[in-house]
Structure 1
Amino acid sequence: MTEVSDNVLPGSLSDRERRIIGEAGLALFAGRLVLDAQPPIDDAVLAAVAERCAGPLPDPLVALWRTTFGGRLDYDLRTDLDGQDVPLSFAELFYPGSGGYHDLWGWIDHECELAGESRPDWSGLLVHLPIGGFEYLERVYVHTATGPDHGAVVCWRQGLPPGWELSTGDRAGRLAGDLRALFGRLVLDRDPWETQADTGAEMRDAVDELGSGGDPDARSAAAKLRRLVRATVLDWRGALDEGTLAAQRRLRRLALERAAADDDVALLARLVEVGCDPAEEVGSGLSPLEVALLQRSFAVVPWLLAQGVPVENSLRVGAHVVDLDLARDLLDRGAAVDASAVAGALENGDVEVVRLLCGAVRSDEDLARLGARLRTLAAEAVTAERAQRRASVLAELADRFTPDRRP
């Protein structure tokens, strides 16, 4: 998606700059920055890993491990799984002795155990070698068996537990033809030097720390790394100016999400004008309307409603922030109300919103379970009211007895 050379402007890294970067626990591979970079793999360990695999280790994987045998990544990655565009956490590069849920050997043993249990005729050699992921929730594998898929990168994502409303089960899919291509897909949705983005913040801090001292070579290395990292930021504004945004799914979704989150009606209007759909799903399965509610973007909300966007999930997402008039409007437009919406409304400061939503939903077991919480909140409200009244009386008496100390 975004190919970036390790040798970025304003010039390639000198030998001393590379040494300084390495001493800071940083490494570069395929144009991406690796944090907490580990020493390169040695021949004995490389051979030991290869012995557990169904075929030769792919060259890009060996190149990565010869650069850094493990570390952390701080980029955004999305992929298509079963027709859905989903985020994937590729935060860890496994290595022996890592402090994650398992280290590399632990994950290899885990995969071998699963394969042995599910396939009695299993050869004992891994076709898919786990190389990274995020704890036990998501993993990235490299295909090791000889053939057309050798070196391909695939992923596995754990589904939600049974009984969850959005439960989809475990999913797997192909990420890239090889490891270098996968690294080329690691991007940043937002510039960590310009916004308070979660992703990229660790890279920003590491680069800034590298350049904070008095060593001119360290400062120049930091400047080059900063340029490299920022080159991976997705430029939806540039695509908008060029007139190509509507044809690029990820960029237009980013633009819609930013406009909704920033309460920017003018930007939303421009996006719709160039062909973007204001009802399109953006980040984490939310619509722009739902993003706007979560971010309290109350100028954008009525504009989106005027465009006729669907509102079915709006109260499930935003019952805790809507006022009474907006809650009524969303109900009139067909917003669904269930136990999750009522539970959200309990966090709303306007008790009339709670009353309205409770009147719009039929009782069921989930709602029955909210009864105890409603009674607790009612008791807390009574206590708070009494405490406020007591404080008012005490303050009045204090003013009477010591008028000269009245605030």
Structure 2
Amino acid sequence: MPEAILLDDKDRWIAGAAGIAVFADRLILDAQPPIDDETLQTVAARCSGPLPEALIALWRTSFGGQLDYQLDGQISFTELFYPESDGYDDLWGWIEHETGSEPCRFLPFGGFEYLDRLYVDTADGPGNGSVVYWQQGLPPGWELRQGDRADGLAPDVRALFGQLALEDDPWESGDADAGTEMRDAIEELSGPEPRVAGKLRDLVRAAVLDWRSALAAGTIAGRPRLRRLALDRAAAAGDPGLLDRLATAGCDLAEPVGGGLTPIDIALINRRLDAAAWLLDRRVPVINTLRTAAHAVSADLARKLLDRGAVVTADAVQRAADNDDPEVLRLLAARLPSWAEMSDYLMRLRMLTAQARHAADRSGDDRSRDRAAVLTEIVARITAGAGS
């Protein structure tokens, strides 16, 4: 195991002066001062049971701040709520939002804007301190699952922080999705305090998910988060060789790796058609491929996916409207079970129809005229409320 990275009291004071706190080996940026006893008692008085020890420990370290890590799945956790923060709401506002004047069992303590919120269970009993989340559903066509959702996330706040990780090393990847704010804060500290900055840098790098080492060691199949990340990266890069190595190591090529997307969905979204064809040859399920990637497939591939059982929904048809080949749109529109669900996309399709007509008039080519004709027919059927 790697050697533990220890910060002494002086290290923590230096980091704190730069707005960085450390809890459970994870960095908090824009760290707020620790909670005082009076505020802690005020929060506790709003709850249905005792405040969990791990949450108190977090607040004694930093009563609010920003996080720059990733959680497994689609949950975002970038803010620790605190009084008078400048986010969508502060701690008191979120408590009022959840409970009004009633005792608060599930105490909101962090999240992402208004879309994702994390709570600790304050009820007295064995579940005290467990972390749950709520996530707002996105509009039709944005994701495979519909509606709001909620579920358990971690046994306590320390375990939750242990789940915070990075998919890329922010010092090595110029387009890392997370970690760059921590990198910049540490580099700013490295001039005046190189020793402390080095320890913080090591802490951040220790949270990077190393799926390559797990693959080389033959342990990746038993490590779900690394396994899913590796499948995602292999599919997005269009790398059949890596996909084959992962399959040989025991990874399931049909496993959902994020937001319900499987490797073939990801390959198609990224227009990695060779990798998609390789996966098709392995007979992976294709049920959602047209819902996610109808904009990227050829007409021949669309027919093959339809023959394999890919479903056609309103979001698949509206994505096909962005395909350069109008035949894909025609194929999917002919398979749509009900036109009623297309009404959510009527305004956008009208706009695309007008653009297609203009392009056809300007270019005069057959494909532009065909695209305009297909879109015009679809808009007419939606407007008329035609049946299946």
TM-score by length of 2: 0.83
Structure 1 residues 53 and 337: CA distance shift in structure 2, 3 A: closer
The question of whether the paired residues in 2 share the 8 Å contact of 1:160 and 1:166 is answered with no
RMSD: 2.9
2:131 maps to amino acid? V
The structural deviation recorded for 1:269 is: 0.6
1:140 matched to 2:118: yes
Report the counterpart of residue 283 of structure 1 in structure 2: 258
1:92 equivalent among 43, 54, 79: 79
Q: How far apart, in 2, do the equivalents of 1:173 and 1:234 lie?
A: 24
Identity %: 56
Q: How far apart, in 2, do the equivalents of 1:371 and 1:53 lie?
A: 49
Report the counterpart of residue 67 of structure 1 in structure 2: 61
1:109 matched to 2:77: no
The question of whether the paired residues in 2 share the 8 Å contact of 1:161 and 1:167 is answered with no
The question of whether the paired residues in 2 share the 8 Å contact of 1:246 and 1:275 is answered with yes
Structure 1 residues 164 and 265: CA distance shift in structure 2, 3 A: closer
1:234-274 CA-to-partner distances (Å, cap 9, x unmatched) read 22222212222112222211111111011111110111112
The question of whether the paired residues in 2 share the 8 Å contact of 1:342 and 1:357 is answered with yes
Q: How far apart, in 2, do the equivalents of 1:242 and 1:209 lie?
A: 36
2:80 maps to amino acid? L
Structure 1 residues 162 and 347: CA distance shift in structure 2, 3 A: closer
1:246 matched to 2:240: no
Q: How far apart, in 2, do the equivalents of 1:248 and 1:346 lie?
A: 39
Q: How far apart, in 2, do the equivalents of 1:162 and 1:300 lie?
A: 28
1:64 maps to amino acid? L
Q: How far apart, in 1, do the equivalents of 2:25 and 2:75 lie?
A: 19
Q: How far apart, in 1, do the equivalents of 2:307 and 2:48 lie?
A: 60
Report the counterpart of residue 150 of structure 1 in structure 2: 128
Structure 1 residues 331 and 60: CA distance shift in structure 2, 3 A: closer
The question of whether the paired residues in 2 share the 8 Å contact of 1:4 and 1:184 is answered with no
Q: How far apart, in 1, do the equivalents of 2:329 and 2:150 lie?
A: 41
Q: How far apart, in 2, do the equivalents of 1:340 and 1:351 lie?
A: 16
Report the counterpart of residue 272 of structure 1 in structure 2: 247
Structure 1 residues 331 and 372: CA distance shift in structure 2, 3 A: same
The question of whether the paired residues in 1 share the 8 Å contact of 2:318 and 2:349 is answered with no
Q: How far apart, in 2, do the equivalents of 1:384 and 1:27 lie?
A: 60
2:117 maps to amino acid? R
Structure 1 residues 270 and 250: CA distance shift in structure 2, 3 A: same
The question of whether the paired residues in 2 share the 8 Å contact of 1:188 and 1:233 is answered with yes
Report the counterpart of residue 317 of structure 2 in structure 1: 342
Report the counterpart of residue 22 of structure 2 in structure 1: 28
Report the counterpart of residue 41 of structure 1 in structure 2: 35
Q: How far apart, in 1, do the equivalents of 2:337 and 2:66 lie?
A: 48
Structure 1 residues 180 and 376: CA distance shift in structure 2, 3 A: same
1:22 maps to amino acid? G
Alignment coverage as a number of residue pairs: 361
Q: How far apart, in 1, do the equivalents of 2:123 and 2:332 lie?
A: 57
**Matched position secondary structure for 1:155:** strand
| 1:6-405 alignment, distance < 5 Å | 8=5, 12-13=6-7, 16-78=10-72, 86-113=73-100, 124-160=102-138, 166=144, 168-195=146-173, 196-211=175-190, 213=191, 215=192, 217=193, 219-361=194-336, 364-367=339-342, 369=346, 372-373=350-351, 375-385=353-363
The structural deviation recorded for 1:47 is: 2.1
**Matched position secondary structure for 2:32:** coil
Q: How far apart, in 1, do the equivalents of 2:210 and 2:71 lie?
A: 15
* Higher mean displacement: 329-338 or 317-326: 329-338
Structure 1 consecutive aligned stretches of length 4 or more whose deviation exceeds 6 Å: 161-165
Unaligned runs of 5+ in 1: 79-85, 117-123, 387-407
The structural deviation recorded for 1:168 is: 4.9
- Higher Cα radius of gyration: 1
1:144 maps to amino acid? T
Q: How far apart, in 1, do the equivalents of 2:257 and 2:331 lie?
A: 29
The question of whether the paired residues in 2 share the 8 Å contact of 1:4 and 1:232 is answered with no
Report the counterpart of residue 397 of structure 1 in structure 2: none
Q: How far apart, in 1, do the equivalents of 2:155 and 2:326 lie?
A: 55
Q: How far apart, in 1, do the equivalents of 2:250 and 2:140 lie?
A: 39
Unaligned runs of 5+ in 2: 365-388
Q: How far apart, in 1, do the equivalents of 2:336 and 2:56 lie?
A: 58
